[in-house]
A and B are shown apart, each in its own frame.
Chain A
């Protein structure tokens, strides 16, 4: 049919650009990682995953991303619930307030945390004034700093994803639940939460993938001691000139991203089956 033919033509330019300038370059980069000398082998990957130094980095990356997701959910769920319940005018304002940090440069947002967590930063000054600590403590260039910076970076994304679904929950359902004697908290867990799961999934995927591959925050807030996969990739490629290793890290990052999406979707499907 002529009509369908049009659809393929319209999509063609985008598909070609993605193929030539993303897919082929990826293949070009990862192909050499499967060769040791002239033979095809997974040797490099096995060595990499068995190396203590790289294991620590891989685990650190996963830990940071996981803790970030958990805190984004804990802070985001109540906030999104509140936003979806207030009147339209305040809701619009709050959503604008949520989107604004998202549109602000990640360097700016990490720099803000340097001024807060630094040796003579806001946090240390405050803690000393309150006599909680006697000398400045090390907050910046720690894993803690990366986690705080990542939560700060990705919380708005979680809130926006959640508000999107929560807005569409029928308020009559909540009112029905409450008129039948359930209190607000029970209503939240029995009615609102199950219906928000699609937003929670989208938000978690975005936050996990984002936190596991972010570069600016770990570089500026983690320093040299807290290397993660993205900063390792840059270090291997740029500082050490080891492009094969960098290519390997690139593939590991891609696989990680795909696995997380699959995993979270599987969990979501399970939850849906059970119907909570």
Chain B
């Protein structure tokens, strides 16, 4: 089949729409003016320095890391056994239980953040950090369940049965047969859930308080009152981290399989 030119042009325009804003941000991060100008004038790395000198960015970056990593690990710890049970067993109520596991996806993020804040922080007196960790973990559970589920589908169940018929216990065969086969799926699920937890705004919005806030929330507040290229520079740095993570996922699993 020959390529239709009209379609090609259309797709080029769609991808231009997706990438021009990103390119504009990248270019403005090097401009010398003290506000965002496009096309940028001059060339400086000063805004990148400013990012590292801005205490609130550095502090909330650390908080974001310290909460997204455990939240992602928790989501995986809950999601892996769940996905395994759903793919390996047939049991009454399976469909409803799966829907229940996926339910955090249906609840809007801002609602999750709000109800958790009211219940965990105000009613139960737990720390904002605890609420944030749980909130982010909960919204990542459906994601972890899906990615791990997809990678479990590719594991041949007969290998596991063979191991068990040779005397291995169910738990033993899980760790010796299944787990090594889904390692790349787990790495991909971890990386992608981590990025999504790190970037989350709606859940983190309510679950931030004095001294605790995530980087995206800090950026959002900064953008509302400032219009300098520091935020462009910070955006570029975050995009570089994303590219690095995508590269790792591509190397371990192939991005198309996620």
Contact = CB atoms under 8 A, between A and B. Distances in A.
A24 B100 CA distance: 13
B158 interface: no
A276 B145 CA distance: 34
A165 interface: no
B18 A29 contact: no
Contacts of B190: none
A25 B216 contact: no
B33 to A, nearest CB: 11
A162 interface: no
B235 to A, nearest CB: 4
A99 B255 contact: yes
B28 interface: yes
A138 B30 CA distance: 27
A224 B216 CA distance: 20
Interface string A16-53: 01100111111011000000000000000000000000
Nearest to B89: A7
B239 A17 contact: no
Contacts of A4: 89, 91-92
Contacts of B118: 25, 28-29, 243, 247
Contacts of A15: 97, 100-101
Given A92-B256, A96-B255, A101-B22, A14 B223 contact: no
Contacts of B36: 115
B235 A82 contact: no
A215 B205 contact: yes
A4 B20 CA distance: 53
B111 A233 contact: yes
Nearest to B27: A115
Interface in A123-156: 125, 152, 155-156
A257 to B, nearest CB: 5
B195 interface: yes
Given A152-B17, A261-B106, A28 B82 contact: no
A271 B92 CA distance: 31
Interface of A: 3-4, 6-8, 10-11, 13-15, 17-18, 21-26, 28-29, 75, 78-79, 81-83, 85, 91-92, 94-101, 103-116, 118, 120-122, 125, 152, 155-156, 174-175, 178, 184, 209, 212-216, 219-220, 230, 233-234, 237-238, 243, 246-247, 250, 253-254, 257-258, 261
